[in-house]
Structure 1
C-alpha cells in the first residue's frame, strides 16, 4: 500500500507540468523587426510646361487724340459715342459753318473785284502803250527835222518831254496791272484758307479704331488749344501692360504665346510684344506688354491675368520636394530593393511643384518623396507609394 502512494505522488507533478511543456514547444520564434516605412514617388515620363504668370492692366496699344483744327466754331452735330468702332475718314462731329460761309462769300466778291481791276488796268496799259508809241514816233520825226534845221530846239524838247511822260504813264499802267493781280492772288489765297477752314468743320477719324472717350459737347465752341475732343484706340487694339519680377524677366521673350484671362472670365490668346530692357530699381519689377487681338471682352483699364508659356519638354518628372539642391548641384534618394541610394541628377525645366530630371533617374524608379529625411545611403527601408493626392499633384 505504501508503495502505491509513493508512485502516485511522483506522477501528479509530472502530469501538471506536461501542458506547460507542450505550450512552450508550440510557441513560435519571435519575428525580426521590419525596416522603417518611407513614402516614395515613381519617376514618370511626361510633358512638362514652364510658365510665367503675369498680372496687369488692359490698355490701348496706341491712343490717338482727335481735336479741332479751327478756332471759334460751334459744335452742331455729334455722330459717334464712346464704344463705337470707326473707320478712317468717318465724320465724328460737324461744326457750324455760317460765319465761314459769310467770309467765303466776301472773299469771292474780292476776287471778282480784283479781276475787274485787272481788266481795267489792262485797258489803261493798252491806252498808255499806244500813247507812248505815238509820242516816240513824233520824237523821232522831230529829231530828224531838227537835224535839218527845219524845227527849233524848243519843239524837240517838247517832243522829248511828251515821249517821257507817255512812257511813264505806260509804266504806271503796268504797275496797276501787277497790283490788281496781287489783289486777286490775295483774295484767292483768302478764299482757299476759308474753304480749308470750312472743310475742317467736319472732324474726321484719322484712323480705324475704337472710340474710348468723347469730350465734345453740343453747342461748345472749339479751340485748337483746348485739347482733344475724341480719344481713339488705334485699330481697336488692346494690350496687357503687366509687371513681372526680375527673376522671371529673363525667361520671357518677344513672340511667346500668352493666354490672357479678362475680368469676365473669358480667355484671349496673345503674344508677348515687348519685354522691357530695364528693371525698376525701387520695385525690382520689369514691364511686359502682351499684344491682343480685338475682343469685346477686353476693356481698357480693367485688370487681367496672363500665363506665358516659356518652355515645353517631355522627360522624367519628379516633385520638387524629392530633389535636394545645393547651388549648381542636385541629388535625389532612389530606393531599389528596399535600399536607399543617393544619386546626383541634372535638372531641366521647373514648372510649379514639378521639375524635369535630365540625367540620374530612369523612368519607373522609386524616389524618396521628401528628400533630406533621416535616411542615408545604404539604409534599408520599406517603400510606401505616395498617396493618390500627391501623385495627382505631381502629374500636374
Structure 2
C-alpha cells in the first residue's frame, strides 16, 4: 500500500470515529432530558380567601335599653305606651303618683324658708358676743341642710315621670297602673332605633373566614331573605361548643322581630391575599415550605409562614412572591435541586 493510500485510510477512520462520538454525546443529552421528572406546577396568586358557609342564630336588638324607676314605694298612676310602640328620647313612658311627695315638698319648703331666715338674722354677728360662734354656725348649717333636703325631694319629683332614654321601639312592658315601684326588674325594654341584628353562631374553622363588612344573606323562616353586613366578629371561641359569635347588621324592617331565629349565608370573605393551594404545602421538622421551580427548571425548597385558610387555599404571610411557580402537590416526590419538566396547571 502506498503512502497516499495509508493517509486516506486514516482520514476516513478518523471521520467515522468522530461521527460515532457525536452520536454518543447527543444520546447522553437526550437521556438526561428524559430523566427530568414531569411535575404539575401552579403559581402563587392574589385571590379572595374563604368559601361560602351557612350559620344560624337569634335575632336580637342591636342595642337594648332597660328602663325602670329609680324610686321605690310610689304607686304607678299611669302607663303611656304599649309593647311595639315607637318612642322618642325623653318621651314619657309612665307616671308615678306624686300626691304625697308634693305635700312633703311643700312642708320642706316652709321649713327651709324658716331656717334660711334664721341664718340671715345672724349674718355679720360673728365675734360680736351677742351669740356664741357655735350658735351662729348651727343656724347656718341648718339652713344648708334644709335646703339640701328640699332639693332632694324636688329631684325625686322630677323622677316621678319615667321617660325613654333613647329613641326606638318598645319590645317589652311589664309595669301596670297600680303597681308599686321597687325592685331591680326593668319596666320597659327598648330596641334603640328599632334595629335588630342576627347573632349568628359560627364554628371555629369558618370564623377565620369572616371579616367585618362582609355581605351576608339572612333568611327568616317563612319570611324573606334580607341583605346584611357583618358588624362584629367575636374575639373569643366558646371552649365547650367551639363556636364564635358574629353580629350581622340588618336593615330596619317591621318583619324583623327580636327573639326570632334566622340563618345567614356567608359568601367568600373578600379579603384579597397572597395564597397557594393547601395541597402544595409541605410540613416537616423545619416547618412549612413549598417547592418552587426556577428559570432553569430546578426545584428549590422555600420556607413559608402561613395565615388564614379557606376554600382550599392558604394565605402566605412569608414566602415566594406572586407569580412564582410552585409544585402543585406536596406529595410529589421532588427534592431540592432536582431537574424537572414543569407542566403548568391548565396547560394543553
Q: Per-residue CA shift, 1:299-330, capped at 9, x if unaligned?
A: 111111211221579xxxxxxxxxxx99549x
1:262 corresponds in structure 2 to: 220
Uncovered stretches (5+) of structure 2, i.e. residues with no partner:
1-49, 272-276, 282-309, 313-343
Q: Residues 270, 72 of structure 1: CA spacing in aligned structure 2 closer, same or farther, 3 A cutoff?
A: same
C-alpha distance after superposition, 1:85-143 (max 9, x if no partner): 222111111111011111101111101211332354459x49x94xxxxxxxxxxxxxx
- The alignment of Structure 1 onto Structure 2 pairs a total of residues equal to 235
**CA shift digits 1:35-63 (9 cap, x unpaired):** xxxxxxxxxxxxxx942222111011222
Higher deviation after alignment, 61-70 or 177-186: 177-186
**Contact 1:56/1:241 (8 A) holds in 2:** yes
User: Partner of 1:278 in structure 2?
Assistant: 236
2:105 counterpart residue number: 104
Please show how residues 148-167 of structure 1 align to structure 2 within 5 Å: none
SS in 1 for 2:117: helix
Question: What whole-Å deviation, never above 9, does each CA across 1:255-311 have from its counterpart, x for those lacking one?
Answer: 101121223422322211222333334333332221222211111111112112215
Q: Using a 3 Å threshold, how does the CA distance of structure 1 residues 195 and 328 change in structure 2: closer, same or farther?
A: same
Quote the residue 1:234 is aligned against. 192
What is the 5 A alignment of 1:355-374?
A: 360-361=345-346
Alignment-derived partner of residue 245 in structure 1 = 203
User: What is aligned with 2:55?
Assistant: 54
Residue of structure 1 equivalent to 2:139: 180
Structure whose alpha-carbon radius of gyration is higher: 1
- Partner Cα distance (2:150, 2:92) in 1: 24
Tell me if structure 1 keeps the 8 A contact 2:210–2:269: no
Following the alignment from structure 1 to structure 2, what is the Cα–Cα distance between the partners of residues 192 and 73? 19
- Cα distance between partner residues in 2 of 1:119 and 1:55: 72
Q: 1:112 to 1:265 in 2, by over 3 A?
A: same
Alignment correspondent of 1:353: none
- Establish whether residue 203 from structure 1 lines up as the match of residue 162 from structure 2: yes
Q: Secondary structure, in 3 states, of the residue corresponding to 1:69? A: coil
**Structure 1 position 181, deviation (Å):** 2.3
Match of 1:289 in 2: 247
The 1-side partners of 2:262 and 2:109 are apart by: 59
* Cα distance in 2 between the residues matched to 1:118 and 1:243: 67
Q: Residue 189 and residue 235 in structure 1: after superposition, are their counterparts in 2 closer, same or farther (change >3 A)?
A: same
Q: Kindly indicate whether residue 174 of structure 2 is the aligned counterpart of residue 189 of structure 1.
A: no
In structure 2, distance between residues paired with 1:288 and 1:185 = 55
Tell me what 1:372 maps to. Answer: none
The answer to whether the 8 A contact 1:82-1:211 is kept is yes
SS at 2:268 equivalent: strand
Give the structure-2-normalised TM-score.
0.60
Structure 1 contact 262–297 (Cα < 8 Å) conserved: no
1:219 to 165, 178, 201: 178
Match of 1:149 in 2: none
Q: CA, structure 1 residues 326+74, in 2 after alignment: closer, same or farther (shift >3 Å)?
A: closer
* 2:130 counterpart SS class: helix
Q: Distance in 2 between matches of 1:326 and 1:298?
A: 40
Deviations 1:200-235 (CA, angstroms, capped at 9, x unpaired): 001111112221111111111101x33211111223
- The question of whether the paired residues in 2 share the 8 Å contact of 1:50 and 1:312 is answered with no
Q: Which has a greater percent of helix?
A: 1
Cα RMSD, aligned residues only: 3.0
